[in-house]
Amino acid sequence: MNNVTHIYGKVVKDCIYSPNAYRGFARDFIKDLERIRPRAILDIIRSGETFRISTTTRMPEQGTCERCGYISSQKWCKACTLLDGLNRGLPRLGIGRTRGVNNAKKDEEPCSNGENHEMKESHVQSKPCGSLDF
């Protein structure tokens, strides 16, 4: 599927990877939304304009990995954490949001309200699929 575009009198072929680009899927999704709800694009633009950068969020301080010396904001860089997990027989160590050090503390320290961490995380609820509140 070679699309040919004429720009300023020149023939330009589209990139061979463009049919599988995520941009096309996003564009089709937004157009489908607009068919269902005509104000969808305007609502998306308005919601983007209301984003604010949080002033309370701290950026991690840049340091170096204790094992290899590469740039890291943690004690060990992600590569060393993954290698350590593989060497210890824990292939999922270092994958995901919680770190290995935090997992050990999770078992020892209860939450402030007396529940354990797993119970606290299970109370998180999300909106039902397909709901669009802008």
Q: What's the confidence (pLDDT) of residue 35?
A: 94
How is residue 133 written in tokens?
Answer: 């509140």
- Cα 103 to Cα 120: distance, rounded to the nearest angstrom: 15
DSSP string computed for the chain = ---EEEETTEEEEPPTTGGG-HHHHHHHHHHHHHHH-TTHHHHHHHHHHT----SSPPPPPPEE-TTT--EESSSS-HHHHHHHHHHTT-TTTT-SSS-HHHHHHHHHPPPTTS--HHHHHHT---PPTT----
Q: Name the pLDDT band for 21 (thresholds 50, 70, 90).
A: confident
Q: How confident is the model at residue 34 (pLDDT cuts 50, 70, 90)?
A: very high
64-122 per-position pLDDT tens digit: 999 999 999 989 999 999 999 889 988 888 787 654 444 443 444 444 444 444 444 43
Q: Which residues of 9-31 are buried (b: 16+ CB within 10 A; e: fewer)?
A: eeeeeeeeeeeeeeeeeeeeeee
